[in-house]
Amino acid sequence: MPPPAPAPGSAVRRRPVQRRSLERFGRILDACAELLDEVGYTGLTTKEVARRAAVPIGTLYQFFPGIEGLLGALAERNLEHYAERLGRRIEAEPPGHTGALVDLAVEEYVAMHRSVPGFGVVDFGAIGVEDTASIHLLDADRDNNTVAADRLWSVIGDLLTAGQAPRPADPDANPRLALRVALECADAVLRLAFRTDPEGDPALIAECKRLLRRYLT
């Protein structure tokens, strides 16, 4: 499986190294994810996250500069887990064509949305929040979907390129840009699917797959 992308670095003040610090870091993010499901993006406070994680507030601020840092680190963890899960699924179920690859990518996202705490509020960025800080949770210079597309390319780029039909009349075709556009489309349609039905509207999920298959092939 491709190596993880370099950590953006903007979300976290200090990254843990020792096992005890790693455990506390993970516990803080777990608490943040749980609270997002309970109180939402606007109701989240560092004080409540520290209390839920059973750590002093000073410990939280050793790692994170504030709420945006917490959310950025959670989005980064979600993206890495998604890339890892998708990579494992591709290894277990090698897609024979682009359509099958699209289905795996969408299904893995839907599975995480249904099962991972906080994912429905912060997947790879703050869902439904369009202020500058929320759009740049993963990186100060690039928007969340650009970072996500780059990480996803490291997992499926070779497969996606191999699955494309030859286009001799289109020398300017840019597969990486196509993936970025596809991710933006999927983001919009899947958000609609989960707004319509908390478990994800099956018809909209199927339509998302159909849209991406037709575009990417």
pLDDT, tens digit, 9 for 90 and up, residues 45-56? 999 999 999 999
| CATH classification of the domain holding 168 | 1.10.357.10
Please report which confidence band the pLDDT of residue 169 belongs to, taking 50, 70 and 90 as the band edges.
very low
Helix axis angle for 144-162 and 175-196, nearest 10°, is 120
Residue 36 placed within a domain: no
For residues 171 and 217, give the distance between their C-alpha atoms in angstroms, rounded to a whole number.
16
Percent of the chain predicted with pLDDT > 70: 88
Residue 33 placed within a domain: no
pLDDT, tens digit, 9 for 90 and up, residues 6-56? 344 457 888 888 898 899 999 999 999 999 999 998 899 999 999 999 999
Q: What total number of domains does the chain contain?
A: 1
Residue 84 placed within a domain: yes
The tokens 């912060």 sit on which residue? 122
For residues 156 and 164, give the distance between their C-alpha atoms in angstroms, rounded to a whole number.
12
Radius of gyration of the chain (CA): 18
Looking at residues 153-159, what average pLDDT do you find?
A: 90
Residue 138 placed within a domain: yes
Residue 7 placed within a domain: no
Residue 28 placed within a domain: no
Residue 183 placed within a domain: yes
Range with the poorest average pLDDT among 6-10, 153-157, 184-188, 191-195: 6-10
Cα three-residue angle 135-137-142, rounded to 5 degrees: 65
Query: Rounded to two decimals, what is the model's pTM?
Result: 0.87
CB 201 within 8 A of CB 193: yes
Residue 135 placed within a domain: yes
Q: Which domain holds residue 193?
A: 75-216
pLDDT of amino acid 161: 76
